[in-house]
Amino acid sequence: MYKTIIKQISSLLIILGGVMLVPCLVAILYKEWYSLLGFATSGILTSGLGYVVYKLLSEAQEPKYQQSLIIAALGWLSIIIMGAIPYFVIAHITPLKVINEFIPVGASYTESSILNFKNILHCIFESTSAFTTTGLTMAYHEPSVGKAILFYRCFSQWVGGAGFIVMALAVFKHIPGQSAILLYGSEASGTKLKTNVIETARSIWKVYFIITILMFFYIAIGTYFILPDYPLAENLFDAINHAMAGQSTGGFSTLDDSIAGYHSQQMETLFLLPMLLGGLSIPFLYRFIILKKFSEVWSDIQTRAVLIASVVGGIVLSLLLMQSGTVLEPFREGIFQFISALSTTGWQTSAIGDWSDLSILFIVAAAMLIGGSAGGTVGGIKIIRALLLQKGLRWHINKIFLSENTIKSVKFNNRYMMPAEMNEELARAGIFTLIYLLFVFASTMLTVYYMSDDFTLADALFEAASAQGTVGLSSGISDPSMSPVLETVYILQMWAGRIEIIPVLVLVRLFFYGTKARKL
């Protein structure tokens, strides 16, 4: 069993090493030689280690169901830890004089954020936030870390968004059918676009890549016309990074104040589309783009719900901000931040720490906890589960008024389910939602205990929900000066949030009880 798990994890490390080598091209382009050395050595080390282990265990059995969940949990944990190596290496090998050259001319600060990565916990936090597509960061002055690290952060989000296991299935062609299905289901939604899981994985990456390229041109051209004086080289660099961060709903930015750094309402409007697209499911985007089923914009239950929620939720949040008087432009900030939270992108244009408690509670409950579409790159409970729970509640209430002998099927998401099947689906959604909320509750309590006195309970709830939902919006608690205990809690939350908790619980159960069945 353990050989099977280690073999599959080693295949992920081979891919991760390749991911680390891609920023070398950026480092060469911008003549960041120490970053080049850091990424090259980290990538070669990681891929080399993965390749050696994979070859040694080439005869290991293919995974079964419980093993696939453990592979998802340990595989992502390995990616997070190994993915932190470039930050740590670059921070230690780059001379202080070179580090200071990354600070933009005229900046209001005098210390580069690369120095934060001399702390290994900060490196793991950054890596976790990147690969889980969260967007919380220890690099609070982003431009001061250099172009290669900026690219690596966004590229990590882009790769992590579609999924390492999905990528492994697309690359390693020989994985048997049943094993491929189990591995795919452990990380992705389980929705198959093709009859073959390997072809499904490739279709996912095809659509993902196409949309990212389209968003690159969309952002670059839009920026050119909105901000004609913005340097072209910076425009193109921003566009490719923001396209990757937007499609993965990761939310990292190349700017010091996220999208607010453009100081343009038109630019904020421009970025609504990448966030909305990122919040939709990849199977829907495949049917819309590849199969040209345009009617599904409204007929797909998740897409319809995301669009309606974005409009209604954005207006409600704007009215709450207007009523509180805490922001100067409530509709501008309210609509952008609600869509950013619902899609779990995390691009920020507002000082959320200054909001009223009611505004914070609304965006947490109505957007961050729910998240976008299942089958996409979003975090949160997922909007399909929320819709299923409200449908189930109505169904249970309506049953009260039916005779005892009446058996009525339930229609949900273009499926008709008998009562037994509906109860099973509701049980799954309900249990996951309960566990999810318990994670957020526990994190909120720990945040209250370890945060500084400058923050409120609403701030603590917001930050905990942001980490669990891989949202990335921050009330200001996530900072290099935060408690190491709290930083570790958020790392664990982001990890669990990316793989939807259950694989983590299976791993914990394995740690305490092993593989033997236990009586309940």
CA dist., res. 364 & res. 313, Å (int): 11
In sequence order, the 6+-apart residues with CB closer than 8 A to the CB of 336 are 259, 268, 271, 272, 347, 349, 350
> Is the Cβ–Cβ distance between 170 and 56 less than 8 Å?
no
Pairing, β 410-412 against β 415-417: antiparallel
Amino acid in position 191: T
| Degrees to nearest 5, angle at CA 339 with 370 and 262 | 145
> Is the Cβ–Cβ distance between 212 and 247 less than 8 Å?
yes
Residue-level pLDDT, tens digit, the chain, 520 residues: 688 889 889 988 999 999 999 999 999 999 999 999 999 999 999 999 999 999 998 887 777 767 788 888 899 999 999 999 999 999 999 999 999 999 998 888 999 999 999 999 999 999 999 999 999 999 989 999 999 999 999 999 999 988 766 766 666 555 554 555 555 554 555 466 666 677 777 888 889 999 999 999 999 999 999 999 999 999 999 999 999 999 999 999 999 999 999 999 999 999 999 999 999 998 899 999 988 999 999 999 999 999 999 999 999 999 999 999 989 999 999 999 999 999 999 999 999 989 999 999 999 999 999 999 988 888 999 999 999 999 999 888 888 777 766 667 788 888 888 888 888 999 999 999 999 999 999 999 999 999 999 999 999 999 999 999 999 999 999 999 999 999 999 999 999 999 889 889 888 888 887 766 666 5
Query: Which helix (H) or strand (E) covers residue 508, if one does?
Result: helix 502-513
- Predicted confidence at residue 172, as pLDDT, reads 58
- Predicted confidence at residue 441, as pLDDT, reads 97
Determine phi and psi for 259, rounding to 5 degrees. -70, -20
> Is the Cβ–Cβ distance between 490 and 443 less than 8 Å?
yes
- Predicted confidence at residue 507, as pLDDT, reads 87
440, two tokens: 């957020």
DSSP for 409-443 reads: -EEETTEEE-HHHHHHHHHHHHHHHHHHHHHHHHH
Closest CA to 128 of 191, 81, 75, 168: 81
- Predicted confidence at residue 181, as pLDDT, reads 53
In sequence order, the 6+-apart residues with CB closer than 8 A to the CB of 169 are 175, 180, 183, 184, 197, 198, 201
CA dist., res. 152 & res. 147, Å (int): 9
Q: pTM for this structure?
A: 0.94
CA dist., res. 174 & res. 204, Å (int): 18
Continuous H helices in 290-418: 296-299, 301-324, 330-342, 357-363, 383-399
- Predicted confidence at residue 207, as pLDDT, reads 92
Burial class (CB in 10 A: 0-12, 13-18, 19+), 121: middle
- Predicted confidence at residue 334, as pLDDT, reads 97
> Is the Cβ–Cβ distance between 149 and 126 less than 8 Å?
no
DSSP for 63-119 reads: P-HHHHHHHHHHHHHHHHHHTTHHHHHHHHHS-HHHHHHTSPTT-S--S-GGGGGGS
SS (H, E, C) 252-298: CCCCEEEEHHHCCHHHHHHCHHHHHHHCCCHHHHHHHHCCCCCCHHH
CA dist., res. 449 & res. 175, Å (int): 47
Could you tell me the CA-to-CA distances from 125 to 50, 84, 146, 253, 390 in Å, in that order? Answer: 22, 8, 19, 16, 35
Closest CA to 207 of 131, 111, 155, 283: 283
- Predicted confidence at residue 68, as pLDDT, reads 81
Determine phi and psi for 108, rounding to 5 degrees. -80, -5
Query: Which helix (H) or strand (E) covers residue 15, if one does?
Result: helix 2-21
What is the DSSP code (8-state) at residue 366? I
Amino acid in position 517: A
SS (H, E, C) 214-239: HHHHHHHHHHHHHCCCCCHHHHHHHH
CA dist., res. 302 & res. 279, Å (int): 10
> Is the Cβ–Cβ distance between 56 and 82 less than 8 Å?
no
- Predicted confidence at residue 200, as pLDDT, reads 77
Amino acid in position 46: T
CA dist., res. 288 & res. 284, Å (int): 6
